């Protein structure tokens, strides 16, 4: 498989080959070459199946890390292709022409992270949420707790225990003395 890493590095400046398992590896590529890399993987290397697309909010580095997982069913090997795009302007090429089902994932990216894939069908329609008017909720700068407290009425009297300490006090009260 390292031959593949070398070829990817030579052709597309890929770096950081990481062997997760025998049948799963990951590699990082520049975001501008996403479509080229995936097309090449699909047509030349036999990674014919797009398993899924997702994104990771690396807020510390100021980037979204896109993850395209493709699979080669002949060699039974999956490859995760990472690509960083800057958070301020999250735009990436659409891959729906390579795999038609990609538009669903890209619609999801649009709603959950605000990542735009120009040209992807129905990308601006609602995906899971209805009437969402806040920051895309999977971004880490969206404060879920604050939003929940401000929006949803709470029943008074809710307390939280540390499970270990609480069960210890319940079951072994003598241990504290």
Partner 1 sequence: MSSKKIEMAPLANEGLPLEERALFCDVPPREYEPARGVIEDFYNWARSQSLWILGFGTGCGAIELRPLMTSRFDMYRFGIQPRATPRQSSVFVIGGYASVKTLKRIVRSYEQMMGPKFVVALGSCTINGGMYWDSYNTIKRIDQYIPVDTYITGCMPRPEALLAGFQELKKIIRAGRAEGQNLYARNFEWYKENQKKVIKDWNMPDYNW
Q: Give the x/- contact pattern for partner 1 in 70-109, rule: CB under 8 A.
A: ----------------------------------------
- The CA-atom distances, in angstroms, between 171 and each of 11, 66, 117, 164 are 63, 47, 55, 11
Least Å from the CB of residue 104 to partner 1:
18
Residue 20 vs 148, nearer CB to partner 1: 148
Q: Does 166 bind partner 1 (CB under 8 A)?
A: no
Q: How far apart are the first and last CA of the chain?
A: 60
Q: Which phi and psi angles does 63 have, rounded to 5°?
A: -135, 155
Give the one residue of 132, 165, 166, 169 binding partner 1; rule: CB under 8 A: 132
Contacts of 36 (CB under 8 A, 6+ apart): 12
Least Å from the CB of residue 138 to partner 1:
10
- The CA-atom distances, in angstroms, between 127 and each of 5, 63, 100, 102, 176 are 35, 23, 17, 14, 52
Interface of this chain with partner 1, residues 144 to 163, rule: CB under 8 A = 144-145, 147-148, 151-155, 157-158
Least Å from the CB of residue 133 to partner 1:
6
**How far apart (Å, rounded) are the C-alpha atoms in residues 138 and 144?**
9
Least Å from the CB of residue 132 to partner 1:
7
Residue 153 vs 164, nearer CB to partner 1: 153
Least Å from the CB of residue 56 to partner 1:
19
Residue 94: count other Cβ atoms within 10 Å of its Cβ: 19
Contacts of 35 (CB under 8 A, 6+ apart): 93, 95, 98
List 30's β-bridge partners, or say none: 84
Q: Does 128 bind partner 1 (CB under 8 A)?
A: yes
Chain residues binding partner 1 by CB under 8 A are 128-134, 137, 142, 144-145, 147-148, 151-155, 157-158
């Amino acid at each position: 498989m390292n031959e593949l890493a070398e070829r990817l590095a030579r052709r597309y400046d890929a770096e950081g080959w990481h062997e997760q398992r025998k049948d799963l590896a990951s590699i990082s590529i520049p975001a501008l070459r996403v479509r080229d890399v995936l097309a090449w993987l699909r047509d030349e290397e036999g990674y014919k199946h797009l398993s899924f697309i997702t994104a990771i909010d690396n807020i510390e580095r100021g980037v979204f890390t896109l993850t395209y997982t493709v699979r080669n069913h002949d060699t039974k090997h999956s490859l995760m292709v990472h690509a960083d795009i800057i958070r301020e302007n999250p735009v990436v090429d659409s891959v729906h022409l390579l795999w038609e089902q990609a538009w669903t994932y890209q619609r999801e990216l649009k709603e959950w992270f605000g990542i735009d894939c120009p040209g992807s069908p129905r990308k601006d329609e609602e995906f899971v949420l209805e009437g969402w008017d806040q920051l895309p909720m999977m971004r880490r700068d969206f404060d879920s707790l604050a939003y929940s407290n401000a929006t949803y009425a709470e029943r008074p009297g809710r307390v939280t225990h540390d499970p270990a300490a609480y069960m210890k006090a319940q079951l072994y009260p003598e241990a504290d003395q």
